[in-house]
Chains A and B, each alone.
Chain A
Amino acid sequence: MAYRLLINMKNNISLWIGLLGLIVLSTGCERLSRGVVQEIEFPEHEPRLAVSMLCNWDADTLVARAQSSAGILDADGSQKQKETLFTLSQSNGASYTWGGTTDWQDGIGHVFENPGLEEGEWTLTAEAPGFESASGIQTTPPRIDTISGAPYHVSFEFTPLEPEVDEWPEEDKIFVRQIIEIELTLPTRENAQDFFILQPTIDIDALSTEEYEYAAIWVNREFDEDPRVERLRLFEGLLVQEVAGSIGLESITFELEVEYYGQTLEDYEALSKSLQVVAVTPEMAAYYVSLGNIRNPDGFALFSEPLLAYTNMSSGYGCFGVYRSIALPL
């Protein structure tokens, strides 16, 4: 019987093809029950140093932090590395080292007291036991000035509009809303990229907590469309940068809006309000923009390019950034 079948098959191509098809189909169909989704374990993560040193070059203290990066499945997460040694060095041989457990201050990080460092290009190197060292480079931005004629000065014009006051007699309070029109001209340099963060601040420490006072200041969304200006997503503020084809950083205009809920108009007017003009390095600007985008993304993730945290550290995590700021009273 089997012999006959074989003889028949020898002479019948369609039988052979049918048999081959059945074998192949049964092999494939057997696996259909597994579905079309498979789970893959995360690749093992090799921890690296995530260094954060974003510092005001004119401050009395500089603070650096080093954490370990962690795999997404690592229950312990990103851990502080107290034994990290930080070195700031220049090509002319200047070198300053701090860190380790002696310079560690809980809740703050590794503190470098009274640095008094010169301007120029600096390399930050972080070394911690069990990690590859990480390094990054920064060139300090110039000190900002308000004196006309100074090489890196900001000129400004603030126009506070008449405050709108709503009285709430049943609660013996007033609600104040005020618009402040801003026009700034920020300095630019040849052969260098100039970036500025503009951050409005109001002294909420002066508010009475017992009287339930409240005050806030923010950039009004109705500022003119200006390709040089973009809203920061990490906190209330703007990032200003030079754009090809535009005329430097002249005449940056926008509005600030202030709200106050409290006792009297005099109390409101006594509150200290200012606009921080912060000259940041391009690397620090990129870091703030990327962190802001990660925390407040727009669009649907599946249809958008993945977001990565900007880094200028060789380890691939963190940032060495330098800024200088000046507060312009409003």
Chain B
Amino acid sequence: MLICSAGVQLSFAQTYTISGHIADESNGEQLMGATVWCADQAVGAGTNTYGFYSLTLEKGMYDLVVSFTGYAPSKYEINLNQDIKFDIALSPGVAISEAVVTGETYNRIEDQVQMSKMEIPIDQIKRLPAIGGEVDLMKSLQLLPGVQSGGEGTSGLYVRGGSPDQNLMLLDGVPLYSVSHLFGFFSVFNADAVRNMTITKGGYPARYGGRLSSIVDISMKDGNMKSFHGTSTVSILSSKLTLEGPLVKDKASFMISGRRTYIDLLLNPIISSINIDDSDVTTDPRYFFYDFNGKVNWKVGSRDRLYFSIFNGRDDFGLESTETFGTSSSSIGFGLAWTNSVAAARWNHEWGPRMFSNVMLTRSQYKFRTGVEFSELELNADSAGSNFQFASIYQSGIEDYTARVDFDFTPNPQHFIRFGASTIRHQFNPGATTLQLDFGTEFPPLDTVLGSAGVSSFESAAYIEDEFQPHERLKLNIGLHGSILDVQDKVYTSLQPRLALNYQLPYGTALKASFATMTQFVNLLTNEGLALPTDLWVPSTAAITPQQSWQVAAGLAQSFDGFEISLEGYYKKMDGLLSYREGAGFTSGLNENWEDQVTQGEGNSYGGEFLIQKKTGRTTGWIGYTLSWSNRRFDEVNSGQWFPFTYDRRHDASIVILHRLSDQWDLSATWVYGTGRALTLSESRFKTFIPSNFDGNTMDLQGVTIEVPSTKNGYRTSPYHRGDISVTKSKKREHTERSWIFSCYNVYNNLNPFFSLVDTDDNGTRVIREYGIFPIIPSVAWRIDF
């Protein structure tokens, strides 16, 4: 219907279209979010993820301004008397001189219909302070209002009261299921391999679906089309190397990037020296993570482009110990490993100046495995047969195959229509334990699998959205997202309307509002206390209904003198949330079906967010503040009463300042504050009297005293606050730029609680102990760009 109405408008005027790609002049990277602005008509167009734009105007002469944050704007005089294909290259690096064409751009915050969407330029992220000098994209997002961290140093995201599984993490359009390295202290995203990152917290356009709380869209670099370049960084935790360059100049390029920790290499000599003291015992711990990004893109013709991208990341943690007594030897091994891998093939095609399509075939896999192996071997040949071996290996995972097609259609300046469809085959392995027992020759060996059976499902979706301007002061984005899940002979369907509006108030202020409903067919089973790689991805099933939400948001936005200011309020209602029942968890569910361990419930979150951000100039950064509430209710938790979500954080504030002192020196500092986490601790006791038998004698009661929490999440840890600083000294040479990056995490060494326990002090008095894990941590890293 949207397409038809747009087509009717089209037929009344003779119009032509100017279209093409906007790219970085220096490396040929496509620029997403760049704008083409026609001041005469006060209309414009923005580039999509692939740098494509399309602007349809009536026949005539126009002055067009092309701009993008951090790039020199360009002006072009166009005689639009036919459809024109016009590729544009912008020069980077003018952010310092604040060359902003105020009033002649289209991508100002007050012009965009989309609200609740934020972006931190990768260049800024790389200059932020980081633990161990390891820049982390997820931790950068945690500095934005409405986005909170799960705990000290962890990279999980809690967006507007949602849980981490409610974030759709897209890497080149492919969902990633686990984004953590080192038990969550680092994310899998290597900043050197990333071109662009945005987060959308509400007002979701119809093209997105499948998660309730946010869309984090990360695009890998395409690879330099002009010349060969690289970046290498050496920090105290890891090293990484990124290489990119043309395969065929201006036609095809590649980018590869790898990162590996060397914690194991540092630890092994220490452990070996301990082993020297006792030659009968050898202990070999191991921990490392690595990740690899690779991408190739190829301009097949003037209208077609192919992309192939892969990502692989792995964490491996374990310990093996062997002890020899006389003629026997015993060994015990423990291991915990998780792997993410993603592959995507994409085909861009321009069907004409007004229609652009992208077809995508992807695979995403997450695997987790942990286990214990024990063996006792008799080395004396006469005693052969008394060997004993035991192994318990727990595995879980999820594997997706996706086919997706998206179309962008711009029939006229008033309408920008997007539509598409996708289908995903999910294969879940929601936890199975393999038990192996071999007693030697006396008994037959045991080899069995316990736990949940695998589940496969098909998730399909289709959407259409139209961004249009029915009035000179009003812009709308109306859309509909429909999804369907076929699982265990049960079919769930969902129609999700989306609406976003932008109404121009006097003095250049925009009033924005949005409404979005979302449905989610996958769930992450996690304990609130600790988020671990053991967390289990499980599907909606015949017994477990999908998660659903609706969110309404409203706010004001304005930009002036290089600053962007936004103020937003939101209310989000969630249903079908999944939680472990009281007392249940990963360890209790090893041998049981996960569906017996869970309960479903509802949640809400509401609050206000304020952000003032400066993206250009010598000094950039932002100040953010969030006031929020987030609550949950499950029939089988807290006696069915509402309780605060563990990440219900009343106040959350962040200050980020990046200052370029000179061409050689950069300084950055961040400070964050957050209300303490809500925890459940046993802090009360009572005596109750219950019948011990039911034979009718109600006088025979049994007294039971129990220590219990009075309410769920009724206790708050100490508030979280931390300051970090970073200084970068760079030196440019003819073909290289070398930088020393000095960082200090938690500069004033505040003890921020990572977890809390009820314990006993030296005097035998019960106390609550708050354990921090990161004191002040200075670090240094060295980077070379060539």
Listed in ascending order, the chain A residues whose CB lies under 8 Å from chain B are 13-14, 17, 21, 24-25, 27-32, 34, 36-43, 45, 50, 52, 54-56, 58-59, 61-63, 65, 67-73, 77-78, 80, 108-109, 111, 197, 199, 201, 227, 234-235, 244-245, 276, 278, 286-288, 290-291, 293-295, 297-300, 302-312, 316-319, 323, 325, 327
* A-B complex: 9 closest residue pairs judged by Cβ atoms: A299-B588, A304-B585, A28-B749, A28-B776, A50-B686, A306-B680, A36-B772, A299-B587, A78-B687
CA distance A50 to B637 in the complex (A): 19
Across the interface, do A45 and B683 meet the contact criterion of CB distance under 8 Å?
Answer: yes
Contact of B710 among A39, A69, A199 (CB under 8 A): A69
Stretch at the interface among B88-96, B452-460, B690-698: B690-698
Across the interface, do A24 and B769 meet the contact criterion of CB distance under 8 Å?
Answer: no
Contact of B688 among A17, A55, A318 (CB under 8 A): A318
Identity of the chain A residue whose Cβ is nearest the Cβ of B708 in the assembled complex: A309
Across the interface, do B694 and A25 meet the contact criterion of CB distance under 8 Å?
Answer: no
- Chain B residues near A318: list those with CB within 8 A: 686, 688
Across the interface, do B682 and A72 meet the contact criterion of CB distance under 8 Å?
Answer: yes
CA distance A48 to B250 in the complex (A): 75
What is the distance, in angstroms, from A165's C-beta to the closest C-beta of chain B?
28
What is the distance, in angstroms, from A125's C-beta to the closest C-beta of chain B?
18
The answer to the question of B586 belonging to the interface, with a C-beta cut-off of 8 Å to chain A, is yes
What is the distance, in angstroms, from A321's C-beta to the closest C-beta of chain B?
9
Identity of the chain B residue whose Cβ is nearest the Cβ of A24 in the assembled complex: B747
Across the interface, do A325 and B729 meet the contact criterion of CB distance under 8 Å?
Answer: no
Stretch at the interface among B7-15, B29-37, B614-622, B661-669: B661-669
Contact A56:B587 (CB < 8 A) given known A27-B748, A294-B708, A308-B680: no
CA distance A25 to B777 in the complex (A): 9
Across the interface, do A305 and B528 meet the contact criterion of CB distance under 8 Å?
Answer: yes
Across the interface, do B685 and A28 meet the contact criterion of CB distance under 8 Å?
Answer: no
Contact of A299 among B543, B584, B596, B767 (CB under 8 A): B584
Stretch at the interface among B44-52, B169-177, B374-382, B758-766: B758-766
Contact of A325 among B587, B694, B751, B761 (CB under 8 A): B694
Across the interface, do A308 and B708 meet the contact criterion of CB distance under 8 Å?
Answer: yes
- Chain B residues near A244: list those with CB within 8 A: 543
What is the distance, in angstroms, from B732's C-beta to the closest C-beta of chain A?
17
The answer to the question of B705 belonging to the interface, with a C-beta cut-off of 8 Å to chain A, is yes
Across the interface, do A325 and B696 meet the contact criterion of CB distance under 8 Å?
Answer: yes
CA distance A299 to B44 in the complex (A): 59
The secondary-structure label for the interface of chain B is loop
Across the interface, do A303 and B527 meet the contact criterion of CB distance under 8 Å?
Answer: yes
Contact A304:B698 (CB < 8 A) given known A52-B689, A71-B684, A77-B685: no
Identity of the chain A residue whose Cβ is nearest the Cβ of B712 in the assembled complex: A308
What is the distance, in angstroms, from A118's C-beta to the closest C-beta of chain B?
18
CA distance A85 to B561 in the complex (A): 70
CA distance A130 to B596 in the complex (A): 43
Contact A317:B770 (CB < 8 A) given known A17-B667, A297-B583: no
Across the interface, do B747 and A56 meet the contact criterion of CB distance under 8 Å?
Answer: no
- Chain A residues near B727: list those with CB within 8 A: 17, 21
Stretch at the interface among B202-210, B288-296, B574-582: B574-582
CB-CB contacts below 8 Å: B261-297 with A: none
CA distance A179 to B596 in the complex (A): 29
Across the interface, do B587 and A303 meet the contact criterion of CB distance under 8 Å?
Answer: yes
Identity of the chain A residue whose Cβ is nearest the Cβ of B590 in the assembled complex: A299
Contact A50:B705 (CB < 8 A) given known A38-B769, A308-B712: no
CA distance A293 to B597 in the complex (A): 13
CB-CB contacts below 8 Å: B503-545 with A: 527-530, 532, 534, 542-543
Query: 9 additional contacts, CB 8 Å, given A306-B712, A308-B708?
Result: A17-B665, A29-B776, A37-B772, A45-B684, A65-B688, A290-B582, A294-B708, A304-B583, A317-B686
Identity of the chain A residue whose Cβ is nearest the Cβ of B756 in the assembled complex: A40
Across the interface, do A27 and B747 meet the contact criterion of CB distance under 8 Å?
Answer: yes
CA distance A327 to B697 in the complex (A): 13
Contact of A36 among B680, B681, B773 (CB under 8 A): B773
Contact A24:B683 (CB < 8 A) given known A291-B706, A299-B588, A308-B709: no
The answer to the question of B562 belonging to the interface, with a C-beta cut-off of 8 Å to chain A, is no
Contact A67:B748 (CB < 8 A) given known A111-B699, A295-B706, A305-B579: no
The answer to the question of B255 belonging to the interface, with a C-beta cut-off of 8 Å to chain A, is no
Across the interface, do A42 and B768 meet the contact criterion of CB distance under 8 Å?
Answer: yes
Across the interface, do A305 and B683 meet the contact criterion of CB distance under 8 Å?
Answer: no
The answer to the question of B715 belonging to the interface, with a C-beta cut-off of 8 Å to chain A, is yes
Across the interface, do A72 and B707 meet the contact criterion of CB distance under 8 Å?
Answer: yes
CA distance A45 to B776 in the complex (A): 35
Identity of the chain A residue whose Cβ is nearest the Cβ of B746 in the assembled complex: A28
Across the interface, do B706 and A52 meet the contact criterion of CB distance under 8 Å?
Answer: no
CA distance A203 to B291 in the complex (A): 67
CA distance A43 to B710 in the complex (A): 11
The answer to the question of B144 belonging to the interface, with a C-beta cut-off of 8 Å to chain A, is no
Across the interface, do B686 and A13 meet the contact criterion of CB distance under 8 Å?
Answer: no
- Chain A residues near B543: list those with CB within 8 A: 244-245
Across the interface, do A65 and B701 meet the contact criterion of CB distance under 8 Å?
Answer: yes
What is the distance, in angstroms, from B690's C-beta to the closest C-beta of chain A?
6
Across the interface, do B689 and A276 meet the contact criterion of CB distance under 8 Å?
Answer: no
Identity of the chain A residue whose Cβ is nearest the Cβ of B638 in the assembled complex: A308
Across the interface, do B705 and A78 meet the contact criterion of CB distance under 8 Å?
Answer: yes
Contact A59:B698 (CB < 8 A) given known A293-B583, A298-B588, A312-B639: yes
The answer to the question of B107 belonging to the interface, with a C-beta cut-off of 8 Å to chain A, is no
CA distance A27 to B769 in the complex (A): 24
What is the distance, in angstroms, from B715's C-beta to the closest C-beta of chain A?
7
The answer to the question of B704 belonging to the interface, with a C-beta cut-off of 8 Å to chain A, is yes
Contact of A42 among B699, B755, B767 (CB under 8 A): B767
What is the distance, in angstroms, from A102's C-beta to the closest C-beta of chain B?
17
What is the distance, in angstroms, from A130's C-beta to the closest C-beta of chain B?
16
Question: Per-position contact with A for B729-760: 1 when CB-CB < 8 Å, else 0?
Answer: 10000000000001010111101010110110
The answer to the question of B440 belonging to the interface, with a C-beta cut-off of 8 Å to chain A, is no
The answer to the question of B333 belonging to the interface, with a C-beta cut-off of 8 Å to chain A, is no
Across the interface, do B749 and A325 meet the contact criterion of CB distance under 8 Å?
Answer: no
Interface centre among B686, B689, B704, B715 (most CB of A within 10 A): B686
Contact of A108 among B596, B687, B696, B699 (CB under 8 A): B699
- Chain B residues near A50: list those with CB within 8 A: 686-688
Across the interface, do B747 and A308 meet the contact criterion of CB distance under 8 Å?
Answer: no
Across the interface, do A109 and B749 meet the contact criterion of CB distance under 8 Å?
Answer: no
- Chain B residues near A323: list those with CB within 8 A: 691, 694
